[in-house]
Amino acid sequence: MAGVLILEQALNGLQFGLMLFLLAAGLTLVFGVMDMINLAHGSLYMVGAFLAAWLVALTGSFVLGVIGAVALTALFGMALEAGLLRTLYARDHLSQVLATFALILILNDGVKMIFGNDLALSAPAALAGPVELLPGLQYPAYRLLILGVGLALALLLWLLVQKTRMGALVRAGASNREMATAMGTDIPRLFTIVFGIGAALCAVAGALLGPLLAVQVGMGENILILAFVVIVIGGIGSIRGALVGAILVGCIDTLGRTLLQHVLREFLPPQWASAAGPAIASIAVYVFMAIVLAIKPQGLFPARG
Amino acid sequence: MAIRRIAGFVAVFATAAPSNSTNVTGVPAGSPGTPFCLPKAIPTIRRHRRRTATLHPKGLPAMSTCLSRPAAAAAFVAFGLAWAALPAHAADKVKVGFVSTLSGPSSALGVDIRDGFLLAVKLAGGKLGGLPAEVLVSDDQFKPDVAKQLFEKDIKRDKVDFMTGVVFSNIMLAALPEAIDNKTIYISPNAAPSSMAGKDCNPLFFAVSWPNDAYHEAAGQYANTRDLKSVYLVAPNYQAGKDSLAGFKRTFKGQVVGENYTKLGQLDYAAELAEIRAAKPQAVYIFLPGGMGINFIKQYVGAGLGKDTTLLLPGFSADQDVIGPVGPAMAGLFNTAHWSPDFTNAANVKFVSEFEKEYKRVPTLYASQGYDAALLIAAAVRDTKGKLEDQGAVLKALKAAHFESVRGPFKFNTNQYPIQNYYVRTIGSDGKGGLINKSFNEPILKNHGDAYVQGCAMK
């Protein structure tokens, strides 16, 4: 029975990790290729979730709603990049932090003005029940969908980055931007496309996680911090690093919350065990990040060097 | 320049209030023999010029007006008497500060309490107990520090007569000291922690809802009647969460196979549900109000746990705010509460029909509590004939609670928490394609108080 529990928790960790990967991938590309810290990445996740909730309510179809939200958020991201963020590339990281932080506040209030404080988003009815994976292990169908989409997108990104010309340009830009520019790549267009892809990935994460977590103003901030931890662990500019880092963070968080509880419950009263468990699990993620930085300061799979 | 001087004068005069103040020289005002003096002007700091205080040889500032101590005292007393001699007139309106959670995943609760409260005011023609009512509504955003600031604003700036509205116990416990320290009455339409029922009870605090443990004690008793032998418990890790599971365990006679305190506001319960599946209990009892409960129940059904395990709920996780988002999966679930929309007493029939007419939705138990809170305040205003300055009389009238509650008979215990019946409800069809709570006639707990009243010093 403990085996089934661990397996189920591992699946939970993987699912959470893959969603983190979608956010981290966009973030690491932007940071790696354009050398820009984009704090508003979490807000794109929020915008994607709100658009999905709104479109699903409008069209009545979950699939149409998600696809529409992804397209609209990508367009919004590209417009944002071309209009505002382009001016930040030349500036130092602190200016970028300040500007994108202001963007978070503006987007939070903008979304509140347009959509209100929160919107309801439910998983499609067909996926509301469980699927029997193994005898004794019933896993929610919707989470399996998230796992599937996450893995598919990871594969797609890998294909894009490794096998296409644009992917090669992205890798070149991440490795050495000056040289890539000198070699004649159309940097502004590349950047806009990269940002659009990042925004689209955020929107997928937002739309898929919407039914599990709540679609509300400010939902991007918490997950953004974890995304930053992921890209630091994985290595800036590296998609592979983002994937590995995200899965590691997801598993450490979930398994830590549950396995740790069992261990702590042997020694402490239930309230303390249940409070300490999640707290220590979230510290565990940062401790792990610190250890990685101590051993490999560039991250696990650095894009440069 | 002149404005600064005037401001300076006002500041000094204000600080020269009787007792405990020092006059400009730093000599305690209470020491005999020193004259009381208004300084000529507050020295203004000018740039490039050191400020020098011009001192009288005896150590007092250059003075223009000086009164001898007894004369000053007489002046103050005369002023005070003149002020007090103004006729003690009844207040011309009732001001209520309403702070609640109106945004975020659990906003439905605060919105319902607010809507219930405002409906009662509207049905009385914009009045409470005969006096025109002004209700100042603000949103604590589920944050204790924001609530504290809003309390301070309502009490100190707007000088409200009553504070009310907070949904969550942790937020209320953080903001309540603002009211208590400033001698403002707080009527709780929801949060009613065990600490305030027992050793921390306060004459200014009235819980018009229920003691926090009550629904859970009723649920524990109901689990006994259903002959359930093993139960897994889940609640958020805060005061009300701890109260809830303590209450359930107080009455439940079977075995608790697991007790999980989750993070307050947590919305993803995948890990906890896996634990529940591994523990294989006969029933699961949760206290997860608002958005937390909605997500848990959705994920519970999604994980396929509903088939083998009975889900028992307190009314908090089984009312319209949860039924709506969760949907048909709620049908047939049992829950415990002090109120149900199908109660047949006259006050409730009026409340439910007016609420549905005004807001186009079925009221939740939260709305009924907001409505009752307004009725309680109205009764106190009416019974003191609007003399709200006499707080002793107001407190007495509140404790007597002569109003027609939508739940039926209402009575306060000595600790100002209700003594009332608790009922089992089940979720069934409302005949219009939706779901609604239906109560069983016989209460599961009758005239039930709370376990903490012994610890309260009030009698």
Confidence at residue B87, expressed as pLDDT on a 0 to 100 scale? 45
Positive/negative CA dihedral, B66, B68, B73, B75:
negative
What is d(CA A130, CA A107) in angstroms, rounded to the nearest whole number?
A: 36
Kindly report, residue by residue over B171-221, the tens digit of the pLDDT.
999 999 999 999 999 999 999 999 999 999 999 999 999 999 999 999 999
Kindly report, residue by residue over A218-266, the tens digit of the pLDDT.
788 888 988 999 999 999 888 889 999 999 999 888 877 777 777 887 8
- pLDDT > 60? residue B311: yes
- Give the least confident one: A59-63, B35-39, B239-243: B35-39
What is d(CA B405, CA B382) in angstroms, rounded to the nearest whole number?
A: 16
- Tell me the percentage of chain B whose pLDDT exceeds 70: 80
Q: Which chain B residues touch A if contact means CB-CB below 8 Å?
A: 103-105, 107, 237, 242, 259-263, 266-268, 270-271, 274-275, 277-278, 291, 295, 298-299, 301-304, 325, 327, 329
- Give the least confident one: A37-46, A181-190, B18-27, B392-401: B18-27
User: Are the beta carbons of A217 and B267 separated by less than 8 Å?
Assistant: no
- Tell me the percentage of chain B whose pLDDT exceeds 90: 61
Confidence at residue B148, expressed as pLDDT on a 0 to 100 scale? 96
Q: Comparing C-alpha atoms, which of A244, A224, A226, A248 is closest to residue A234? A: A244
A16 interface with B at CB cutoff 8 Å = yes
**Residue A128 with chain B: CB contacts under 8 Å:** 298, 301-302, 329
- A51 or A260, which is more confident: A51
Q: How far is CA B79 from CA B10, B72, B73, B251, B293, in A?
A: 16, 11, 10, 61, 59
Q: Provide the mean pLDDT of chain B.
A: 84
Confidence at residue B303, expressed as pLDDT on a 0 to 100 scale? 84
- pLDDT > 70? residue B292: yes
- Over range B246-265, report the average pLDDT: 89
Confidence at residue B418, expressed as pLDDT on a 0 to 100 scale? 95
Kindly report, residue by residue over B371-419, the tens digit of the pLDDT.
999 999 999 999 999 899 999 999 999 999 999 999 999 999 999 999 9
Confidence at residue A161, expressed as pLDDT on a 0 to 100 scale? 85
What is d(CA B417, CA B52) in angstroms, rounded to the nearest whole number?
A: 61
Closest residue of chain A to B242, computed from CA coordinates: A271
- Give me the domains of chain B, ranges plus CATH numbers: 2-47+62-84 (no CATH), 94-210+343-418 (3.40.50.2300), 214-337 (3.40.50.2300)
User: Are the beta carbons of B302 and A9 separated by less than 8 Å?
Assistant: no
Confidence at residue B70, expressed as pLDDT on a 0 to 100 scale? 67
- pLDDT > 90? residue B251: yes
- The complex's ipTM works out to 0.77
Q: Provide the mean pLDDT of chain A.
A: 87
- pLDDT > 60? residue A292: yes
- pLDDT > 70? residue A50: yes
Kindly report, residue by residue over A157-187, the tens digit of the pLDDT.
989 988 998 888 888 877 777 788 888 877 7
Confidence at residue B207, expressed as pLDDT on a 0 to 100 scale? 95
CA B211 remoteness from chain centre: 13
- Give the least confident one: B64-68, B100-104, B201-205, B306-310: B64-68
**Residue B329 with chain A: CB contacts under 8 Å:** 128
A113 interface with B at CB cutoff 8 Å = no
Confidence at residue B221, expressed as pLDDT on a 0 to 100 scale? 94
Angle, helices B214-225/B239-251, rounded to nearest 10 degrees: 30
**Residue whose pair of structure tokens reads 């600080």 in the numeric block:** B15
Q: Comparing C-alpha atoms, which of A209, A267, A186, A168 is closest to residue A15? A: A209
Confidence at residue B67, expressed as pLDDT on a 0 to 100 scale? 58
Shortest CA gap B353–chain A (Å): 27
Confidence at residue A237, expressed as pLDDT on a 0 to 100 scale? 81
Q: Residue B298: pLDDT band by 50, 70, 90 thresholds?
A: confident
**Residue B243 with chain A: CB contacts under 8 Å:** none
- B355 or B240, which is more confident: B355
Kindly report, residue by residue over A84-130, the tens digit of the pLDDT.
998 898 889 999 999 999 999 999 989 988 997 778 788 887 887 78
Q: Residue A198: pLDDT band by 50, 70, 90 thresholds?
A: very high
Q: How far is CA A123 from CA A140, A209, B292, in A?
A: 11, 9, 16
Q: Residue B83: pLDDT band by 50, 70, 90 thresholds?
A: low
Q: Phi/psi of residue B335, each to 5°?
A: -150, 165
What is d(CA A32, CA A37) in angstroms, rounded to the nearest whole number?
A: 9
- Over range A57-74, report the average pLDDT: 94
- B25 or B76, which is more confident: B76
Kindly report, residue by residue over B35-80, the tens digit of the pLDDT.
555 555 444 444 544 444 444 445 444 444 565 666 666 666 666 5
What is d(CA B89, CA B385) in angstroms, rounded to the nearest whole number?
A: 11
